[in-house]
Amino acid sequence: MKHIALTLLLAVATLSAREWTSSDGRKIQADFISASGTDVTLKLLPNGQVMTFAQSRLSAGDQAFIREQAAKPAGPAKALEGPYANLITGDWALSEFKNLPFAIYGAKDLSAAQTYPLILALHGRSPNAENGKQVGGWMKSFTTEAHYAKNPCIIVAPLGYQPYGGEGTAWNNAPGTEALALVKELLKSLPIDKTRVYCVGYSMGGFGTCHLINSEPRLFAAGVAVAGCTGPDTAGTFKKVPLWLFHAADDPRVEVKYSRDLYEELKRDKDCKYTEYPTGGHGIVGKVFETEEMHEWLFSHPLKK
């Protein structure tokens, strides 16, 4: 059954603050978020960073505590309400906001009694005008059973409609402005954790990720930009909002120079990262979003205060 692991995760999500001890004796203060399979997710105090790691790295007492939480019966789920509730179906649902077509995904058993991260996923340059086709395989990486069990979330994928999509300018024009407005509407209407709103994108969407975060730095907690980004003049924003850049050295469509130049201004910032593949051309996006490390990094960042 799809997302069966999500049921376990929701059953054990309790936010229980306590002291934890690692297997080598180190102690940390953290809130218990969830447990799934052999992993546990904690919210570190006082900085609020969310981290997922193997339960085997914790003391025997902590592992027993996790088992006790897993054995507790789940509290009653609270049904979603509002204008977008009917779009949370366990599959990609299609709708429009003003002039902006969009696709949205959330598991059908999400509860209004909890809050979830929101992912704004931006596609690359395309002449496509059909809503739904913008949902690339890399966006679906967030909805696989393994990833969704660890990080249940809501993913929204707007369509950069024409002529902007075909021109490669969607996210710094009307579709981008409307995408930001859509995110703000979803924050009002769905159970979204306002400290964990993320933006990710590929090619035109990589540029769009950087552009939208630079436009609304207090809205986003972190971003991932693949094969496209803004210039080094925006580096100040990403010293406040963590960014992970990806590019291939042999990209024939978007020069790797753009990512290198931006990262040159960010390399002293421990929260920003850059991964450069020696080969892969303009098609590295699937490889990027398959990596467990990228998912863990993204979801570990709460909004900086």
Which amino acid type is present at position 75? G
Tell me, yes or no, whether 123 and 240 share the same domain.
yes
Tell me, yes or no, whether 99 and 229 share the same domain.
yes
Any domain includes 77: no
pLDDT value of position 12:
39
Provide the domain count of the chain. Answer: 2
* Structure-model confidence comparison of residues 149 and 39, the more confident one: 149
Tell me, yes or no, whether 49 and 114 share the same domain.
no
pLDDT value of position 73:
55
Tell me, yes or no, whether 90 and 63 share the same domain.
no
pLDDT value of position 71:
60
Tokens representing residue 266 in the block: 């960010």
What pTM was estimated for this model as a whole?
A: 0.81
Any domain includes 76: no
Tell me, yes or no, whether 48 and 133 share the same domain.
no
Question: Using 50, 70 and 90 to split pLDDT, how confident is the model at 47?
Answer: confident
- Dihedral of CA 227/228/233/239: which sign? negative
Residues making up the chain, counted from first to last: 305
3-state secondary structure of 153: coil
* Structure-model confidence comparison of residues 268 and 15, the more confident one: 268
- Please report how the helices 174-189 and 204-215 are oriented relative to each other, as an axis angle in degrees rounded to 10: 60
Tell me, yes or no, whether 145 and 294 share the same domain.
yes
pLDDT of 3 > 90? The answer is no
Tell me, yes or no, whether 204 and 96 share the same domain.
yes
Question: Using 50, 70 and 90 to split pLDDT, how confident is the model at 205?
Answer: very high
pLDDT value of position 16:
47
**Alpha carbon distance 200, 97 (integer Å):** 20
Q: What is the CATH classification number for the domain harbouring 118?
A: 3.40.50.1820
Q: Write out pLDDT tens, residues 133-186.
A: 999 999 999 999 999 998 999 999 999 999 999 999 999 999 999 999 999 999
Find the domain containing 23 and state its range.
4-71
Tell me, yes or no, whether 63 and 183 share the same domain.
no
pLDDT value of position 11:
39
Tell me, yes or no, whether 15 and 117 share the same domain.
no
Averaged confidence pLDDT in the chain: 90
Q: What is the CATH classification number for the domain harbouring 15?
A: 2.30.30.700
Any domain includes 80: no
